[in-house]
A and B are shown apart, each in its own frame.
Chain A
């Protein structure tokens, strides 16, 4: 089945979709046939200017304007002197873009131009008519040849697809696993996949996507497309890794086989032994034995040994029971794996984005709000690859934005349903910083729960935090407290004195 592989055919399929390029680079300022936005309408742009000029202009409009190109300066002055940002697109990509715009234009332009061409028909002389006919016949010839070629290519592609989508055998999966985990080396000195992409569930943070993440993203394609993507990856990081050393077709096929096999079962887990429980039981038995020996059997002559063992084990058992019982219902230190490896450290500390930019309603609402995807897209429409994660994680936002499917974040700070809590009261009136309850969130790469959120924790803070009592109309009817303050019976007024710790304040 695999005899056609090894021809290097897959590596020639690298492609970029011009529609996507247009969305990424042009659609912010330009439309096609829907009127001027910040930049001009691109309807019929490929007729107005020749291709070389367009390529130059798209690459760097600024240098064109500063060098004094007349056409460029005209456009620049017409559209409020707003300069077009430079792009680093290749010549091929720009050509495909221009072609894409031209193709779109054809449908729209035909409607406009069809009327004047009929009127001018009579004025065209016979000689030019003949020339046009000759040209047309030539074009027809070439078109039929082209169509034949396309048919042939389609046939070849179909054959390949069929052979790729045939059932993957266990042997191929095993081979792919060996390649992925480094048990079998790649032929062209390609670094082993498992150095970056873990195949087991891990506790620490790995910025790179795991094997299962990759498999899930690629799983909606067929095997052929998947292996072409593995050979010609779109992300910059992978391009750098595979710059000099390329995978062969066979190897990419084996890896796809392995990836397809782990889509459903997910990542494997290291076997975890319930050490804590086993130890607890052993210590209990130890205590029992030494206690029994101390009183009844008396095999060990040194009494002090038995007594110390009894004492230490009792302390240990008591400690475990108390600590575990106190932690029931509290999830301090809860750090779940989120659908996107979002780092608060990068966004808040390095980029200095205020908390309220994304969680924008703590000042006037019970909830502080989880940002919808359009908030992310305000910046990430242009910032397409992260420092640590590359394009993989940011593409998830893009996908969610396109498909209008929200990202399912996992809630970390969760109060029980029988407790009322309002952010507005604490942030707007109490002027409490986010960090007092949520911890040093600007230091967290993976967000975790800082405070225990127990009732004792709430009550303690209410007892300690002062209220701005004087010069505050809202509390003017607390006459006893005002009197006490004047007489010097109390130094300050804390939140619990004005009813923050009343039962009905939070439980009703």
Chain B
């Protein structure tokens, strides 16, 4: 708004100056105009437009881009999900429903395929700090920034209590993929191998103190 205001002011001054030049034919006013021109130079661009292009037919793809709208599909998206029922290579679909029964079954049947070595733990730490620490806190005590700053209304649980440590890896995995109560699904955000590594990090590094206390 302020910009617009300044622009309007300048326009008025300019029009006044033009009248002056007609009357006096003085050259000093020309200089004033030139200085104003240079001042103007930085202001006037439309932020909503990309500007001109040399060869637009080389700039934009004829084929549909990943996120572009598409008229061929009924939902209008180019990025289509795989045909229902088909399973990509290396992917193991998660078949357990979002109930307490499903969580129990997942805990019994799913086994962590990774070992707790240095590489896996460091990767787990990186991913944990990105995806989990916002709510559960960097130390895992449920004191994440989103909750302590008062933006997120409900208290996230601590990850390093005795009950949580007893929980089998499969249940952690289940909760991360499907979600649990208010916590949403992270299936589309974290890759399966990273999920297992995060679990390793929570169970080994993060809760070292708690484990020592129990022993």
Residues on A close to B: CB < 8 A?
28-29, 34-39, 82, 85, 202-204, 270, 273, 275-276, 279, 282-283, 286, 300, 305, 309, 312-313, 316, 319-320, 323, 327-331, 333-337, 350-354, 356-357, 360, 364, 367, 370, 372, 374-375, 377-379, 381-383, 404, 406, 408-409, 411, 414, 416-418, 448
Contact = CB atoms under 8 A, between A and B. Distances in A.
Interface string B120-154: 00000000011100100000000001100101111
A contact patch SS: loop
A367 B11 contact: no
Interface stretch (B36-44, B83-91, B204-212): B36-44
30 contacts: A34-B99, A37-B99, A38-B181, A85-B153, A204-B1, A204-B3, A270-B4, A273-B11, A275-B11, A275-B14, A312-B34, A316-B34, A328-B53, A328-B54, A329-B53, A331-B50, A350-B149, A351-B145, A351-B146, A352-B145, A353-B134, A354-B129, A357-B131, A360-B190, A372-B188, A374-B185, A379-B146, A382-B182, A408-B69, A414-B50
B37 A283 contact: yes
Interface residues of B, number: 61
B152 A283 contact: no
Contacts of A404: 75
A356 B41 contact: no
A374 B75 CA distance: 17
Nearest to A306: B27
B45 A351 contact: no
A336 B49 CA distance: 7
Interface string B1-44: 11110000001001000000000000100110110011011001
Interface string B68-88: 010000010100000000000
A443 B156 CA distance: 28
B92 interface: no
A267 to B, nearest CB: 12
Given A323-B41, A360-B190, A378-B184, 17 more contacts: A28-B181, A35-B101, A38-B180, A316-B37, A316-B38, A333-B45, A335-B47, A336-B47, A351-B149, A356-B130, A357-B130, A370-B67, A374-B184, A375-B189, A378-B183, A381-B182, A383-B151
B152 A382 contact: yes
Contacts of A34: 99
Given A203-B47, A275-B40, A381-B184, A38 B58 contact: no
B61 A38 contact: no
B149 to A, nearest CB: 7
Given A329-B52, A357-B189, A36 B100 contact: yes
Given A275-B40, A309-B27, A374-B184, A203 B50 contact: no
B34 A313 contact: yes
Contacts of A29: 181-182
Given A283-B34, A286-B30, A351-B134, A360 B181 contact: no
B186 to A, nearest CB: 8
A279 B38 CA distance: 10
Contacts of B181: 28-29, 37-39, 82
Nearest to A408: B69
A278 to B, nearest CB: 9
A218 B54 CA distance: 42
